[in-house]
């Protein structure tokens, strides 16, 4: 991908997407694969907000049983299947254990019934998933002894066993989003980061594009399109209100969803679902309280998710130390053996997620059940504009399919079938992931370790040889960034082929350097040096880039605040 702003202004597009989070990226990919001329702009870096800071879970829909929401169960199971099929290097099944206690809704009988109903509703959960390693098993009960063997420190009093179900887990959400975008670009889309939509271009009763600002300081530009998709998430309603005077009703409410990374592996292969102190007021059948999840991920542990109604600016959402401590206290109350403290947190992730109708002081919170797709022609008499505000990473592809179908209708075209659920994303054309990994590890270039080969194969899939090509051309690029498995060649590749413009783009979203913890001053300095060779930065620019990355790590609780 090359950042070519001229390509945005040379023609009128069928579709312009504003917003480079996963919902905007999914819409651009769907539109491009259906043959529409497509452009996408993002005011920051791609997948740099909520999409990068998710809990990394691909929901299969079992939680919606208690709401009796069968369509949502079917959609979630279908979308989990699609991601396992099109991105096998970045998505894998995740077994989750719910301990069972006593009788009633927290006991084995209730969980057995729930698993049976879910498996019936998700009967096609593995259809066309050819790789056995990416197929989702049926739910099952385990005995008390099996449960304690997996989690010896569970409260044994009244423990009767457990239930195992499977969701899926993302290995690297920013790279998953980026690979989807690369698929769009590979099918003809034009994309650019650091391009901010300033205002809509309008003629009577119609939007026909945007006036945009190059955030990197190279002036303004006009981008014309027959249809515009406003996929700016929690900024979407503010954008149309500020620039068009259009008010969306009812106004959306948002939750600041937070999770955190613990710098050690607390569990082995199974995640653990424990009772949280809050309940779900929308549940038709409730086990009493919501679950919090302790999840193994790489060499770390993820703990989440914590929801707080957010009433302020979408630009300022960071949790305070006091709020994070309150969440840690809830986790320790649910699983006392952890004895977690703030010092155990290596990174805190948070983002804004569409929510239900809640008061700012609500404790038992209502979740949004559907993404919002707003056809402004029908709602406001303003043609050429559709806004979308997504709910879950899992369903971004499905929502994009609906949005692009609507766009095609508004363009007066017969919408061709979407193929985004069967077309492998960039790097995802892998028949059997185990064989693919074994082959990658068996043929490392000179000076590249098996650990780094595994890291490359997981992050880039079948595209990892493009990274190694830089290592072969420049032997010094075979060196790893200090304290990590990341090759200097990845930094070069990120700049030349993945539109990385800043140090934070590389550290947080193109490589694994900042995905779980602060990588150290030496890593930042070396990474900045490599980028300076590519982008012509001087010493002052490098210093500014490093300072900004350190500020972001402090915002995510990986460093003390300055």
- As a whole-number percent, the residues of the chain with pLDDT over 90 amount to 81
Whether residue 514 is predicted with pLDDT greater than 80 in this model: the reply is yes
pLDDT tens-digit map of 96-112: 999 999 887 778 999 99
- Token output for 524: 């930042």
> Which residue ranges make up each domain of the chain?
6-50+174-251+370-410, 56-171+252-355, 433-555
Buried b (16+ CB within 10 A) or exposed e, 239-270: bbeebbebebeeebbbbbbbbbbbbeebbeeb
CA distances from 254 to 6, 30, 68, 251, 477 (A): 36, 26, 23, 10, 43
Residues 6 or more apart in contact with residue 57 via CB below 8 angstroms: 94, 167, 168, 169, 170, 293, 295, 394
pLDDT tens-digit map of 327-352: 999 999 999 999 999 999 999 999 99
Q: Quote the distance between the C-alpha of residue 510 and its chain's center.
A: 14
What is the reported pLDDT for 361?
46
pLDDT tens-digit map of 136-163: 999 999 999 999 999 999 989 889 999 9
Question: What is the Cα–Cα distance from 88 to 429, expressed in whole angstroms?
Answer: 8
pLDDT tens-digit map of 360-394: 444 545 566 789 999 999 988 999 999 999 999 99
What is the reported pLDDT for 399?
97
pLDDT tens-digit map of 219-268: 999 999 999 999 999 999 999 999 999 998 889 999 999 999 999 999 98
Q: Are 490 and 467 in contact (CB under 8 A)?
A: yes
Question: What is the Cα–Cα distance from 270 to 268, expressed in whole angstroms?
Answer: 6
Whether residue 27 is predicted with pLDDT greater than 70 in this model: the reply is yes
pLDDT category of residue 445 using cuts at 50, 70 and 90: confident
Asked if the domains at 56-171+252-355 and 433-555 fall in one CATH topology, the answer is no
Superfamily of domain 56-171+252-355, CATH level 4: D-Amino Acid Oxidase, subunit A, domain 2 (3.30.9.10)
Superfamily of domain 433-555, CATH level 4: Alpha-glycerophosphate oxidase, cap domain (1.10.8.870)
Sign of the Cα pseudo-torsion (549, 553, 559, 562, in order): positive
CATH code given to domain 6-50+174-251+370-410:
3.50.50.60
Please list the residues that pair with 345 across neighbouring strands.
262
Question: What is the Cα–Cα distance from 48 to 555, expressed in whole angstroms?
Answer: 14
């Amino acid at each position: 991908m090359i950042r070519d702003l001229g390509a945005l202004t040379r023609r009128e597009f069928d579709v312009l997407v504003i917003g480079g989070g996963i919902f905007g990226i999914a819409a651009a990919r769907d539109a491009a694969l259906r043959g529409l001329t497509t452009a996408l702009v993002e005011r920051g870096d791609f997948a740099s907000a909520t999409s990068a800071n998710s809990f990394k879970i691909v929901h299969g829909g079992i939680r919606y049983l208690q709401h009796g929401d069968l369509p949502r169960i079917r959609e979630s199971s279908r979308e989990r299947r699609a991601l396992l099929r099109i991105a096998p290097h970045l998505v894998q099944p995740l077994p989750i254990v719910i301990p069972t206690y006593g009788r009633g809704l927290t006991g084995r009988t209730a969980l057995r019934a729930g698993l049976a109903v879910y498996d019936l509703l998700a009967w096609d959960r593995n259809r066309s998933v050819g790789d056995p390693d990416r197929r989702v098993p049926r739910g099952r009960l385990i005995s008390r002894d099996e449960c304690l063997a997996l989690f010896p420190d569970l409260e044994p009093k009244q423990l009767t066993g457990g239930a195992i179900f499977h969701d899926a887990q993302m290995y690297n959400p920013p790279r998953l989003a980026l690979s989807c975008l690369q698929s769009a670009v590979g099918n003809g889309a034009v994309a650019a980061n650091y391009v901010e939509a300033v205002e809509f271009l309008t003629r009577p009763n119609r939007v026909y594009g945007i006036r945009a600002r190059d955030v990197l300081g190279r002036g303004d530009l006009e981008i014309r399109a027959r249809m515009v998709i406003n996929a700016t998430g929690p900024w979407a309603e503010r954008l149309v209100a500020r620039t068009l005077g259009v008010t969306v009703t009812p106004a959306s409410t948002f939750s600041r969803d937070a999770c955190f990374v613990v710098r050690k592996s607390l569990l082995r292969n199974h995640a653990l679902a424990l009772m949280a102190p809050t309940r779900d007021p929308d549940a038709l059948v409730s086990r009493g309280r919501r679950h919090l999840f302790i999840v193994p991920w790489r060499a770390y542990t993820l703990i989440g998710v914590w929801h707080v109604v957010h009433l302020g600016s979408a630009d300022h959402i960071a949790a305070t130390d006091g709020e994070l401590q309150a969440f840690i206290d809830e986790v320790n109350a649910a699983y006392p053996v952890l004895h977690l403290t703030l010092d155990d947190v290596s990174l805190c992730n948070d983002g804004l997620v569409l929510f239900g109708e809640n008061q700012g002081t609500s404790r038992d919170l209502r979740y949004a059940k559907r993404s919002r797709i707003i056809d402004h022609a029908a709602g406001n008499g303003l043609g050429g504009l559709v806004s979308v505000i997504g709910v879950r990473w899992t369903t971004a592809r499905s929502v994009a399919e609906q949005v692009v179908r609507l766009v095609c209708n508004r363009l007066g075209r017969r919408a061709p079938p979407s193929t985004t659920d069967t077309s492998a994303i960039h790097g995802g054309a892998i028949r059997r992931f185990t064989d693919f990994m074994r082959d990658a590890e068996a043929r490392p270039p000179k000076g590249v370790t098996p650990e780094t080969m595994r890291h490359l194969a997981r992050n880039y899939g079948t595209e990892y040889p493009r990274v190694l090509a830089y290592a072969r051309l420049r032997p010094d690029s075979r060196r790893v960034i200090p304290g990590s498995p990341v090759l200097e060649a990845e930094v070069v590749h990120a700049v030349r082929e993945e539109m990385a413009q800043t140090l934070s783009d590389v550290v947080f979203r193109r490589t694994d350097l900042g995905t779980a913890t602060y990588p150290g001053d030496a890593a930042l300095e070396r990474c900045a040096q490599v980028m300076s060779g590519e982008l012509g930065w001087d010493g002052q620019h490098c210093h500014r880039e490093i300072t900004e990355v350190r500020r972001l790590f402090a915002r995510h609780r990986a460093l003390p605040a300055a």
